[in-house]
Structure 1
Amino acid sequence: MNGYEFIETIVMGNIVVIELNRPRQLNSLNRKMVGEIVAAMERFDREEDIRVIVLTGKGRTFSAGADIDEMTNDNPISLELLNQFADWDRFALIKKPIIGAVKGLVFGGGFELALCCDLLIAASGTEFSFPEVGLGVMPGAGGTQRLTKLAGRTKALEWLWTGERISVETALKHGVINKIVAPELLMEETMKFANRLAKQPPLSLRLIKDSVNKAVDYPLYEGMQYERKNFYLLFASQDQKEGMNAFVEKRKPDYHGK
């Protein structure tokens, strides 16, 4: 599909693949590229026929990080006026499942972008890192927050303070990614999982994601009350009737997200 300078979008049935498309720059993220990614996600989040979003990178790497050349001359006032991270905040508002398929280098802003995904499938040999400390700065698009919630305070501090490279095996061990696959099977395995999700009732996926995101921040009791409201809400859906009737009638359900 056309209309973007730094990404490509490919619709495959109920799934859209959004591909970072600056392979010569190792898919480094400039501001326009981030804006295009989130705008594409918002567009497909609204499209009824799309049920799952897959995010990946063209070429041999997912993303080596932010476009440093773009930021070298920035200062606090210019960043404030730009509202540097406004586009990044929009990722948290995407309702549909986002699966990241990552390979090669997943560094800096690229790592932050990967952590905006709901699930991550990584090719063997992939390396993750937050190298910002070596540039005299730190992650600013949610890296310190999301990594800490996944890996815990002490491991996050170790990785953020040292900027060391994290192997794909270590990332799996600490809950940063969901699965490791052979590089040549990355997209095949990702699409297989995406198709599995695409067959699930869309409203259930949406409200499960909503409830799990709240669980990260809410105390247990408040989180359970929030979960309960979403549980009740699904009983107003056609998909709930279809799912339960199909179970009773011993047939496969046909969900429409209504």
Structure 2
Amino acid sequence: MDAVVVERPNPQVAVVRLNRPEARNALNQQVRMQLAEHFTALGRDPEVRAIVLTGGDKYFAAGADLREMAEAGAVEIMLRNTHRLWGAIASCPKPVIAAVNGFAWGGGCELAMHADIIVAGEGSSFCQPEVKVGIMPGAGGTQRLARAVGKFKAMKMVLSGQPVSGREAGEMGLASEVVPDAEVQSRAMELATQIAALPPLAIMQIKEVLLAGQDASLDAALMLERKAFQLLFASRDQKEGMQAFFDKRPAGFEGV
């Protein structure tokens, strides 16, 4: 049975689903490798315009699979090059929406933070508990978390190892929106479908500039934004979008 399953509910939206229910979708090396393979392929697929990342309606991912790590040495951990597998998700040019039900703990919380939008259930739980087993987050749990929620809230989570609820995650900026648990999957699909109907070149440029600008000076980030804005006027989708606005009709965007 594949540890990660890809579904295509419609041609323009892909759903990447963790599939280790017996381990609450704990992230072992097989899961990380399959995630990297799928996100690399979907990022290159011209038909795919948005991706939903989920663990299903019971839990997102309960963390790293400690059975693969407990007896490993530092060199072995380094040679696994896990950061390169995570990088395939971080560098995916398509918008990624994480649909989080249940546990998003440890590596599961870090995985959710690789997405561009997080839809969390009211009963979901976000946590970085690594300190409780003698280690620390190693896939963005200190850096992405601090950038999302600020120093003081991030410090509390990573130093205490205590979870926050989905509602708290929304209030602190860790989730884009919080909905009833039963609506998480459908809401994520609704957002993905809405985004997939928009001009793909503009969507990709928005994602690229927003992420790149976070670590640049304001002047440099504004220059990136300006150049991307100007570049989009070379696209047929820009002409189509504005003409459709004038004609008061739906636009048909082709990604060119």
Q: 1:139 to 1:195 in 2, by over 3 A?
A: same
Distance, in Å, in 2 between the alignment partners of 1:64 and 1:164 is 14
Query: Which residue is equivalent to 2:9?
Result: 12
SS at match of 2:71: coil
Query: Which residue is equivalent to 1:61?
Result: 59
Structure 1 unmatched runs, 5+: none
Query: Which residue is equivalent to 1:114?
Result: 112
Distance, in Å, in 1 between the alignment partners of 2:101 and 2:213 is 29
Equivalent residue for 1:34, pick from 32, 51, 55: 32
2:125 is matched by which residue type in structure 1?
A: E
Contact 2:60 / 2:103 at 8 angstroms: preserved in 1?
Answer: yes
- CA-based RMSD of the aligned residues comes to 1.1
Q: Is 2:143 aligned against 1:145?
A: yes
1:107 is matched by which residue type in structure 2?
A: W
Distance, in Å, in 1 between the alignment partners of 2:61 and 2:91 is 22
Residue 59 of structure 1 and its aligned partner are, at CA, apart by 5.5
Query: Which residue is equivalent to 1:254?
Result: 252
Query: Which residue is equivalent to 1:161?
Result: 159
Query: Which residue is equivalent to 1:176?
Result: 174
SS at match of 1:146: helix
SS at match of 1:235: helix
Distance, in Å, in 1 between the alignment partners of 2:253 and 2:148 is 32
Query: Which residue is equivalent to 1:133?
Result: 131
Distance, in Å, in 1 between the alignment partners of 2:99 and 2:59 is 10
Distance, in Å, in 1 between the alignment partners of 2:161 and 2:232 is 44
Distance, in Å, in 1 between the alignment partners of 2:79 and 2:110 is 22
Distance, in Å, in 1 between the alignment partners of 2:5 and 2:171 is 32
Distance, in Å, in 1 between the alignment partners of 2:229 and 2:52 is 27
2:47 is matched by which residue type in structure 1?
A: D
2:62 is matched by which residue type in structure 1?
A: A
- Identical amino acids, percent of aligned pairs: 37
Q: Is 2:82 aligned against 1:87?
A: no
- Aligned residues between the structures: 255
Query: Which residue is equivalent to 1:230?
Result: 228
Distance, in Å, in 2 between the alignment partners of 1:206 and 1:63 is 27
Q: Deviations 1:229-257 (Å, cap 9, x if unpaired)?
A: 11111111111111111112221110011
Distance, in Å, in 1 between the alignment partners of 2:140 and 2:185 is 26
What is the TM-score of this pair, normalised by structure 2?
0.97
Distance, in Å, in 2 between the alignment partners of 1:26 and 1:38 is 20
Contact 1:23 / 1:58 at 8 angstroms: preserved in 2?
Answer: no
SS at match of 2:142: helix
Contact 2:57 / 2:182 at 8 angstroms: preserved in 1?
Answer: no
